[in-house]
Amino acid sequence: MEQEQRRYELNGAGSQLQRQLEALPSPSDMADSNRWSQEQNHELFRCFRPTAGFGPTRALPVALYDPVLDTLVELFGAALKGGGDVGSSSSSSGGGGGADGVPLSNADCELASRLCEAMAESFAHEAARMAAFNEVFRGYLCEHIETHHPSRNWKFGPDGGSLLCQVGGPEGTTWLPVYIQEVKTEIGYSGDPYFKGQRRYQLDLTNPQLAAAVEHTVLPALFVELVGPHLRVSALASPADATVVCEPLTPYLHLFNMLRCQPDHMVRVALVLRALKSGIGLLLDACGRLQQPTAAAVPAPAAPAPASASEYSDTAVPRVEVPLRDQALQLPYPLRPGSGYRDVRPIGAGVYHPLYFAVLDGDGGNSSRAVAVKFARMSADALRVHRAWAAAGLAPEVVSTRRLPCGLIMLVMELLAPEDGWVMFYSLPPRRQQQLHGAVVAALARAHAVVVDADRGLCGVHADMRQANVMVRLPPPREDADGGGGGGSGGSGSGAAGRGVAAGGEGGGGGVAAGGGAPGGSGRDAGGGGGAAGGGGGEDAAGGGSGGGSQPQQQQVAQQVRFVDLDWAGLVGHTRLPAFARMRLQGYGCGCAVTQEYDRALWNWEWVFGPM
């Protein structure tokens, strides 16, 4: 009953989303920049054009939507890093293999050579270029690229094609796309195939006959654009309703046979084509393992009958229906039901690094516990610094770490919750900050003294020591404190959005506390309510009012400091600011060595001039 109500809300006469879908143009017309650039389409196509999105429209990295997509990002990343020592016969020098260390086969090299020779030619129309591409590629792929679309009984245009998977194995009657291709005769010819392919994918997603099949899958697929002699591969996914997420996995590669003058380029082309074949195989296997839906099935594909130009039109759009989707698909796949995490809630829609509250189920007699989970790129040294500082009580405890195939780190940490008195330093009133400033400086000195690498005697650096990345735990207000009453919970607000995050600018998103992102920070700082009102309680709750309180109270406060967002952290003498880091101090830009003096200088700059 609940599902039927939800389905009616999505597709009823009053459904705004249904009307929006029905108003979308055909795939061919969607390629026109005057159509795809319309603002009402931005939420449905999250693909970095015209922007990377913000707030609720910012998609997760595509690798987090599905384990196969995670592996695909790894595959194509390794392919793009390949090349070098093409003429060497020594396996230790690479031999033209990719970053995965697997050398190219004769079939891989032959495909790259034949495809480059074929695609360098000119073609009278798109159908001719696509036929030439398919003729070379299908023998290597051992799969037939279909121009007839069996799930709709209508044809792709002369510039498109797909590979379909039979859900549930040979006995299945439902077919889902795992590969889509769009072909243009030359660059600049008849619009952008990037949006044309996404719109084709969306038509599969909204096919009423496939609604039951897509309810519990993000429908992972690969998308190839062949524009003249140039090829690009992207990944497709849909985590909600009719939303399409598209993320390029490669740049456009020119299909020219340049073995004599640029052999590394030919190796890279061959490696990308090999990754494409492997990726299609992974998608076919995963799709074949899906359970056949019990809803009305789609007829099995029939051989396409010859058709004249009048028998089909690429501008004809079939009936669409907003599919009912499992809401868990919007979460990173390692946090979905069955993963050991429950009550998962995102913190701050669209924060730079995906960040979540969750309850980690206990095992082996351990009780469940609330945790914060962040997905970020961290070096091995950054993790070492985080663990060492956590062991000293100066960073959130690391519960577990997991390196995903795409390179992201899944960092499960102690939850510094507002109800336990934790609050970000920048959100405190000025007088409270004045009382706690010395405690933070002392805690930083202790952190800098922690030996992280015992063999070399090296300590650590934070590299992003701003007020948004410092959290303090306030003691409960004294009953006799003037102006008490808010407690130390920091004005947490309601729900995950009210709690907010210390997004840490370009560097992070890992601190969990009351209040939103640091005021005046880059556009990547994000969070919810709280703000400067966070901290609750009276001024005296921090440690004794204007008199500063007793020494034991001050010591208690000094011990309750945690440094968060250690994404850029590293070892002294071995750490540099990453590419695209915002210059926060004059002379310290991308690639500059990070020292402990830099940590102190950044903290002092914000103390004098306010949060950045």
pLDDT at 253 over 70: yes
Q: What is the pLDDT of residue 55?
A: 65
pLDDT at 487 over 50: no
Q: What is the pLDDT of residue 291?
A: 76
pLDDT at 125 over 50: yes
Q: What is the pLDDT of residue 498?
A: 37
Q: What is the pLDDT of residue 37?
A: 87
Q: Determine the average pLDDT of the residues in 407-426.
A: 94
Question: Among 89-103, 312-326, 423-437, which stretch is predicted with the lowest mean pLDDT?
Answer: 89-103
pLDDT at 62 over 50: yes
Write down the H helix ranges in 238-288: 263-288
Q: How confident is the model at residue 174 (pLDDT cuts 50, 70, 90)?
A: confident
- In the chain, what are the domain boundaries? 21-294, 337-411, 416-609
Q: Determine the average pLDDT of the residues in 538-551.
A: 39
pLDDT tens column, 199-212: 999 999 999 888 89
Q: What is the pLDDT of residue 534?
A: 36
Integer Cα distance of 539 and 537 in angstroms: 7
Give the residue with greater pLDDT, 412 vs 143.
412
Q: How confident is the model at residue 169 (pLDDT cuts 50, 70, 90)?
A: low
User: Which residue is it, tokens 């439902």?
Assistant: 174
Integer Cα distance of 74 and 564 in angstroms: 28
Tokens of 295: 């809803």
Closest CA to 177 of 237, 226, 219: 219
Q: How confident is the model at residue 18 (pLDDT cuts 50, 70, 90)?
A: confident
Integer Cα distance of 60 and 42 in angstroms: 15
Instruction: Say if residue 50 is preceded by a cis peptide, omega within 30 of 0.
Output: yes
pLDDT at 94 over 60: no
Handedness of CA 267, 232, 332, 421 (dihedral sign): positive
Tokens of 103: 């050398």
Question: Among 49-63, 226-240, 321-335, 465-479, which stretch is predicted with the lowest mean pLDDT?
Answer: 49-63
Give the residue with greater pLDDT, 329 vs 544.
329
Q: How confident is the model at residue 494 (pLDDT cuts 50, 70, 90)?
A: very low
Q: What is the DSSP string of 460-518?
A: EE-S---GGGEEEEPPPPPTT-TT--STTS----SHHHHH-EE-TGGG---EE-BS-SP
Strand order in the sheet with 422-424: 422-424, 470-473, 561-563
Q: What is the pLDDT of residue 475?
A: 79
Give the residue with greater pLDDT, 518 vs 416.
416
Q: What is the DSSP string of 398-452?
A: EEEEEE-TTS-EEEEEE---GGGTEEEGGGS-HHHHHHHHHHHHHHHHHHHHSEE
Q: Determine the average pLDDT of the residues in 486-498.
A: 37
Give the residue with greater pLDDT, 21 vs 337.
337
> pTM, whole model, 2 decimals?
0.82
Q: How confident is the model at residue 456 (pLDDT cuts 50, 70, 90)?
A: very high
Q: What percent of the chain has pLDDT over 70?
A: 73
Q: How confident is the model at residue 3 (pLDDT cuts 50, 70, 90)?
A: low
Give the residue with greater pLDDT, 219 vs 612.
219
pLDDT at 530 over 70: no
CB 164 within 8 A of CB 178: yes
Q: Determine the average pLDDT of the residues in 224-230.
A: 96
Residue 389, CB-side half-sphere exposure with 13 Å CA sphere: 29
pLDDT at 176 over 80: yes
Q: Determine the average pLDDT of the residues in 464-473.
A: 96
Q: How confident is the model at residue 148 (pLDDT cuts 50, 70, 90)?
A: low
Q: What is the pLDDT of residue 101?
A: 79
pLDDT at 564 over 50: yes
- Sequence-separated (6 or more) residues with CB below 8 Å from residue 582: 505, 506, 522
Q: What is the pLDDT of residue 4?
A: 58
Q: What is the pLDDT of residue 50?
A: 84
Question: Among 89-103, 377-391, 487-501, which stretch is predicted with the lowest mean pLDDT?
Answer: 487-501
Q: What is the pLDDT of residue 539?
A: 39
* 161 secondary structure, DSSP code: E
Q: What is the pLDDT of residue 500?
A: 40
Q: What is the pLDDT of residue 586?
A: 86
Q: What is the pLDDT of residue 365?
A: 61
pLDDT at 495 over 90: no
Q: What is the pLDDT of residue 237?
A: 97
Q: What is the pLDDT of residue 263?
A: 95
Q: What is the pLDDT of residue 373?
A: 97
pLDDT at 561 over 80: yes
Q: How confident is the model at residue 315 (pLDDT cuts 50, 70, 90)?
A: low
Query: Torsion-angle region of residue 332: left (phi > 0), alpha (psi -120 to 50) or beta?
Result: beta
Q: What rounded mean pLDDT belongs to the chain?
A: 80
